[in-house]
Amino acid sequence: MERREFIKTTTLGASMLTVFPSGLLSMPREIQKGKLEKRILGNTGEKLSIIGFGGIVVRDASEEEASARVKEAIKYGVNYFDVAPSYGDAEIKLGPALEPYRKKVFLACKTAQRSKELSEKELEQSLERMRTDYFDLYQLHGVTSLEDVDTIFGPDGAIHTLLKARENGKIRFLGFSAHSVEAAMELMKRFSFDTILFPVNFATWHAGNFGPQVLEMAKDKGMGILALKAMAKCPWAKGTERTIKKVWYEPLTDPDEALMGLRFTLSHPVTSAIPPGNEELFSMGLKLGMKFTPLSSSEVLEVKKKGLETVPIFKYSGV
């Protein structure tokens, strides 16, 4: 049996509190030899690997390729898998590949539908494609505008699908993903979600003022924080050929820079970070996740300088 060590407080964690809105001081961390670190997901009691598997990794893959990619992730200790109907054929490919491991993993799915009727149909379709009778986490996907939020919480809104499904045992926890500070803040004000999936990136944080206010509110509410875009660099320059598939932004492809991006994100009270959907970058993310250590105070300042010099993929102009 592997030796496990739970880290709840460290002197480094204490120093992080003076740099970020909140550090790792209150984040229980499970260290396993030869496997990715695991962390508690908010108040759910679940422990997830610090690197998650985004379903786009198996989009357009063959059955053999999908199985191999899932097997690789499992080997590293990944137990958090996230997918959505909008990821092309990802559900169709991931369902069979993940089936042998289903009871050992935390499976998250999403709906981009805002109405009760359409989100119910999408949920049932996803359950069938993923070959499961429940999702550990079901999320409102990509909420961007306040109009979206109003629709979701309206009389015929998608929130009613999530509540009914949780009552019927088809969903264990409720969450949302967002690429908008305004929408994320409003969603958290209106409902006690279990989790949030949100971009936490060195450049958006420092140069875009995008993230600090959201993470602060999520942590105050005891939510599990899941991160996107840790390995993002900047928008693709106009006229530049996008040579990397499955990535809409320019990613950090240099291993040292990518590790810096992951370390920035995971030095916050983030449970897990999902690398880009490109299979090569995902494999890199697995290897780099094994090297994670929290940023030191001097490194925090170095990353801040680099972030301020980088064009962010998201910006927030509010206070």
Q: What is the CATH number of the domain that holds 184?
A: 3.20.20.100
d(CA 165, CA 160): 8
| Residues of the chain above pLDDT 90, percent | 87
Using pLDDT thresholds of 50, 70 and 90, give the confidence band for residue 13. very low
pLDDT at position 20, please? 53
Tell me the pLDDT tens digit for each residue of 258-293.
999 999 999 999 999 999 999 999 999 999 999 999
Is a pLDDT exceeding 70 seen at residue 160? yes
314 part of a folded domain: no
Tell me the pLDDT tens digit for each residue of 106-119.
999 999 999 999 99
Are 251 and 281 a contacting pair, CB within 8 Å?
yes
Least confident of 53-57, 79-83, 242-246: 242-246
| Best CA proximity match to 277, nearest among 38, 82, 108, 71 | 82
318 part of a folded domain: no
> Structurally, how many domains does the chain consist of?
1
Tell me the pLDDT tens digit for each residue of 119-151.
999 999 999 999 999 999 999 999 999 999 999
Residue 22: DSSP 8-state: S
Compute the half-sphere exposure of residue 290: CA atoms within 13 Å on the CB side of its CA: 14
186 part of a folded domain: yes
313 part of a folded domain: no
| Boundaries of domain holding 273 | 8-234+243-308
Kind plus residue range of the DSSP H or E element containing 197? strand 195-199
pLDDT at position 319, please? 58
pLDDT at position 11, please? 32
Is a pLDDT exceeding 50 seen at residue 9? no
317 part of a folded domain: no
315 part of a folded domain: no
d(CA 304, CA 317): 19
316 part of a folded domain: no
158 part of a folded domain: yes
Question: DSSP per residue over 135-178, as a string?
Answer: EEEEEEEEE-SHHHHHHHTSTTBTHHHHHHHHHTTSEEEEEEEE
Tell me the pLDDT tens digit for each residue of 164-211.
999 999 999 999 999 999 999 999 999 999 999 999 999 999 999 999
pLDDT at position 241, please? 86
